[in-house]
Structure 1
Amino acid sequence: MKNQQDNQWITIFAVMAVVLIAIHYLLELKVFNPWDDYIPFLKKLSLSLFLIALIFLISKIISKIVNNKTYLEGDRYNLLRIIRFLAIVFSLTVVVSFLFESFYASIVSFGLFSLVVGFALQAPITSFIAWVYLIFRRSYLVGDRIQIKGFRGDVVEISYLDTSILECSGDYLVNDRRSGRIIRFPNSLILREEVINYSGSEVPFIWNETPLQVAFSSDLQFVEACLLNAARNDFKERYPQLDSQKNEKWEPAVYFRVNSYAWMEAVISYPVEPEDTTGRRNRILKYALPLLNEAPDKVQFPEGTLR
């Protein structure tokens, strides 16, 4: 679908470029001599429009090449944004050149205009500079789950001035599922706040843990074995291609600790995709609890007055 749209725009800009350059040279014909006063203006206008059409034609061709390459979603998004931005900048330069007699005068005027606008629009300009910083520093990409200043969600758009994320958790949820709300914040926020990116060195996983209260008299080896089997089986079913690699860094682990209610906690620590934390915890518990409940002589849970 995206390639089809690119092909349509490439055709449109190519036809526009051919027509405009043809008009530019046709204006030299003697048949247009009665309009000698308007010919220089029309020739300059047609040439300017031809250059703008050519700029966008080249940008669409490059965009098509980028879309056909196997770049990561975030990298592809940033490259397309840069291409679009450069096309707009070059087109504005052509427009300013059309308005002024010389290219040098247009550059000077554009610089003075930018200086005046810079003082009036400091906040948007700061956000734009932050966008440039994001492109090169890659603090986060489209598709990453991030947390910044209390906001947490999945990045869906990084525009020139702001970032949009699909909120996770939020005011109405206590899990990591998407709330359905969209949060937009200015890019300038990343220059003064810390950014937590869940797509870290353990991509595609982060580490999560789930505690389970058991009595001190429980068979801890049996509890550990049940929890490990639950985590391993779920990992194998969910990621068969990764499980076959036997990567030790993604092996789950169990440790025990004493909580404030005089019960022991068996804590299973496991790798999980950021958007699957709630689902993976549920699957592990659904698998482990029946095994533990089947052995009441080995495992006791808090119940009744024994809480």
Structure 2
Amino acid sequence: MKIQKDKPWIVIYSVMALMFIVLHYLLELKIFEPWAEYIPVFKKLSISLFLISLILLISKIISRIVDSQNYLEGNRYNLLRIIRFLTIVLNLIVVVAFLFQNIYAAAVSFGLISLVLGFALQAPIASFIAWVYLIFRRSYLVGDRIQINGLRGDVVEISYLDTSILECSGDYLGNDRSSGRVIRFPNSLILREEIINYSGPQVPFIWNETAIQVAYTSDLQFVEDCLLEATRADFKERYPQPQTYNNEQWDPAVYFRINTFAWMEAVISYPVEPQDTTGRRNRILRAALPMLNAAPDKVRFPEGALR
């Protein structure tokens, strides 16, 4: 979709670049001699517009190449952001060079303006520096689930000054599902707060656990076998690749603990993708509880006076 949208712009910028460079040389024709005093300005304007069109054309071509490669979504997003930023910077240089007589004057003016803006816009500049840090340090990418300063959600945008996350859990939910609220925080926050990243291409899973309450008289080995069977079956169905499923690092485990009140808890610990914590818990319970309920002589749940 993005590649198709770039195609007409490539054609438009190509035509514009060709048109401005042709105009630049046409201005040397004798028919324009009556306006000789304006010719240098128009020639400089035409070459500036040609350079801007050329920069935009090259940026669209590079963006199209990046989109066609098999990059991770977060890496692709960062590359496109860098291309867009460099395009803006180069176009600004062309505009400043047009407004001033020479490069030296443009550089001095640009330096003075930057110095003044540096004092006036310290917070946005800090956020921009943090964006550069994010690009190279890769603390999080678009699509990652992160937690920072008490905020938790999935990263949906990393702009030059702030980051937007789609909140999960939040004030109105007791699970890890998306709340529908978008939270934006300045990028500078990452320079002074710790970041918890639940996602990553090398470690796709986090560990979660679900507890069910059973009576002390239950067959604990049977309970453990049922929970492990349900969990492994769900994992194998969702991740059928043999190399993933056979990795002992992600093998689930069951342990038992005494509840604060009067019953025992069987706890199944299992790997899960950060965005699938609620769904995986539901699937495990829907598969395990029928097996447990089908053996009332082996599994007793605390109820009534047995609590």
TM tier relative to shorter chain: over 0.9
- Does the alignment pair 1:174 with 2:174? yes
* 8 Å contact from structure 1 (residues 177, 275) kept in 2: yes
With over 3 angstroms needed to count, the CA separation of the structure-2 counterparts of 1:242 and 1:259, relative to structure 1, is same
Q: SS in structure 1 opposite 2:139? A: coil
Alignment of 1:66-145 (within 5 A): 66-145=66-145
Between the aligned residues of both structures, percent identity stands at 76
> Could you tell me how far 1:244 is from its partner in structure 2?
7.1
> Could you tell me how far 1:131 is from its partner in structure 2?
0.3
Q: Which residue of 1 aligns with 2:6?
A: 6
Q: Which residue of 2 aligns with 1:21?
A: 21
| 1:230-274 alpha-carbon deviations (Å, 9 max, x no partner) | 101111222222577522111111011112113221110111111
Higher mean alpha-carbon deviation, 66-75 vs 285-294, is at 285-294
Q: Which residue of 1 aligns with 2:198?
A: 198
**TM-score when scaled to structure 1?**
0.97
What is the letter of the counterpart of residue 303 of structure 2? E
Q: Which residue of 1 aligns with 2:154?
A: 154
Alignment of 1:176-255 (within 5 A): 176-200=176-200, 203-242=203-242, 245-255=245-255
* 8 Å contact from structure 2 (residues 142, 155) kept in 1: yes
> Could you tell me how far 1:203 is from its partner in structure 2?
2.8
| 1:95-146 alpha-carbon deviations (Å, 9 max, x no partner) | 1111111101101110110110011011111100000000000000001111
Q: Which residue of 1 aligns with 2:293?
A: 293
Q: Which runs of 5+ in 2 are unaligned?
A: none
Q: SS in structure 1 opposite 2:291? A: helix
Aligned counterparts of 1:94 and 1:153: Cα–Cα separation in 2: 40
* 8 Å contact from structure 1 (residues 235, 243) kept in 2: no
Q: Which residue of 1 aligns with 2:306?
A: 306
What is the letter of the counterpart of residue 236 of structure 1? K
What is the letter of the counterpart of residue 286 of structure 2? K
> Could you tell me how far 1:306 is from its partner in structure 2?
2.8
- How many residues are paired up? 307
Aligned counterparts of 2:229 and 2:126: Cα–Cα separation in 1: 51
* 8 Å contact from structure 1 (residues 66, 79) kept in 2: yes
| 1:60-110 alpha-carbon deviations (Å, 9 max, x no partner) | 111111111111000000000000100100100011111111101101110
* 8 Å contact from structure 2 (residues 236, 245) kept in 1: no
Aligned counterparts of 1:202 and 1:41: Cα–Cα separation in 2: 56
Alignment of 1:37-48 (within 5 A): 37-48=37-48
Q: SS in structure 2 opposite 1:140? A: coil
With over 3 angstroms needed to count, the CA separation of the structure-2 counterparts of 1:242 and 1:111, relative to structure 1, is farther
CA RMSD of aligned residues (A): 1.3
Aligned counterparts of 2:113 and 2:224: Cα–Cα separation in 1: 69
Q: SS in structure 2 opposite 1:305? A: helix
Structure 1 residue ranges (4+ consecutive) displaced by more than 4 angstroms after TM superposition? 242-245
